[in-house]
Structure 1
């Protein structure tokens, strides 16, 4: 367990980003690991979709931990839990989420600054206290654990880039190991985040699929996460293929599939 936490931390190198591949079930975790992912993340959105629920605040902590534990048992690479707002408003709840996450073998988690299920951000003082409590819990563990602090206001349009950076800087001072503001409006804003903080920065690929890893490296990003993008890509295939079948009686959307033997090979390896 401690080795995975240390391995996960070592991957975070500003200017040399790795891909945090977000899985949504045991099978996708095995496939992503088998295809060469160095680390995995859960995805709160994609997990909710597997349960037939919408994104944002619709999965309980127990469900998220059980889901993560299943993935941990399936692969041998570090896994980060995408644990929304830490499953509660108060700082101690965030600290307890860190402790429970470490107990099941997660290498780290990320905690957002949004009062779910609304899109209202926590007051900055409370947001910082939540990260401070989570960081203290992480540092008290007997093994390494990477805490990522998220400033989600840019993605939710509840505050601007200046406040996002102010929050990330405060999260850094509170003890966060990695900083994350999903979906800045431009690569220039993302570069500014990297420039005006000192901890490793995560970039969400959503909105930047026309960029490559080298471009993220040039501006100092340490990690590129996929979020729910792969899950949504499968949903696109389902939607397009089924629409063609129902409306046109066509099956061309099913022409590009992977062989059962290849999938079976991923499922039988750990």
Structure 2
């Protein structure tokens, strides 16, 4: 599967590409048409589409079916946001990697949180789960890019030193890309990139949206993912327009839309 090999080659420390997280076929095709070199799902954005809460409210079947739909809709590589592998055991993680392989996506991410709680797995267990995921990924009949996530800093459950310790261990366990979301500052992103072997993913969300691709590159990132940032922009547009029209009767924000013809040019095959 050439897309998966292409996906691996995109990961160049200091020369990051944007992994564009989409939430439906239209958004995926629009991002691809506008220059995305790879697309990813977003568990939060998919949860919002389904009217559910983020963090542990999706099933493996939900996430895999969604990734399959988007993967078939675009020609660039697609990576799945598969939360913690949809279960606490190594068998759960292996089943998730095998399901990802069955639909032929280029890679996926596995995090170290015991969802739906935001408590991290103990260090040894977290490493065992990534090791099992890596073995399952290497057993697939094509090159699969496994991203290992240390989410404890984002949830305030452990510090940056522990995140780096986990990422280092995840790399030794066989992970291809390392990711500690929302580490607090660009200086911390740079520290992760310096101290962790292997390509590092950085997320552009919250305060990190004030940085540029060049700044992420200077920090040493190999990939910039968007998480649910784009989906939340669309929800902001709905919120602002609905607040105005249902509150004061102001309909002017509806005039800021893009034409249907322009959208169709981007999403039609």
TM-score (norm 1): 0.98
Q: Gapped runs of 5+ residues in structure 2?
A: none
- Number of the residue aligned with 2:50: 51
- Number of the residue aligned with 2:186: 187
- Number of the residue aligned with 2:237: 237
Superposition map of 1:73-84 within 5 A: 73-84=72-83
- Number of the residue aligned with 2:226: 226
CA-CA distance at 1:267 after TM superposition: 2.6
Question: Do residues 216 (structure 1) and 216 (structure 2) align?
Answer: yes
Distance in 2 (alpha carbons) for counterparts of 1:261 and 1:80: 29
Q: Gapped runs of 5+ residues in structure 1?
A: none
- Number of the residue aligned with 1:87: 86
Deviations 1:128-154 (A, max 9, x none): 000000001111112100000000011
In the alignment of these two chains, the number of paired residues is 268
CA-CA distance at 1:266 after TM superposition: 2.1
- Number of the residue aligned with 2:150: 151
Distance in 1 (alpha carbons) for counterparts of 2:219 and 2:29: 31
- Number of the residue aligned with 1:262: 262
CA-CA distance at 1:265 after TM superposition: 1.5
Question: Do residues 101 (structure 1) and 100 (structure 2) align?
Answer: yes
CA-CA distance at 1:248 after TM superposition: 1.1
Superposition map of 1:60-209 within 5 A: 60-206=59-205, 207-209=207-209
CA-CA distance at 1:219 after TM superposition: 1.3
Q: Which moved more, 1:79-88 or 1:249-258?
A: 249-258
Deviations 1:81-136 (A, max 9, x none): 00000001111211121111011011000001000000010001000000000001
**What secondary structure sits across from 2:136 in the alignment?**
helix
Distance in 2 (alpha carbons) for counterparts of 1:174 and 1:155: 22
- Number of the residue aligned with 2:9: 10
- Number of the residue aligned with 2:248: 248
**What secondary structure sits across from 1:255 in the alignment?**
helix
Deviations 1:148-179 (A, max 9, x none): 00000111000000100000001011000000
Query: C-alpha root-mean-square deviation of aligned residues, in Å?
Result: 0.7
Distance in 2 (alpha carbons) for counterparts of 1:102 and 1:15: 29
**What secondary structure sits across from 1:149 in the alignment?**
strand
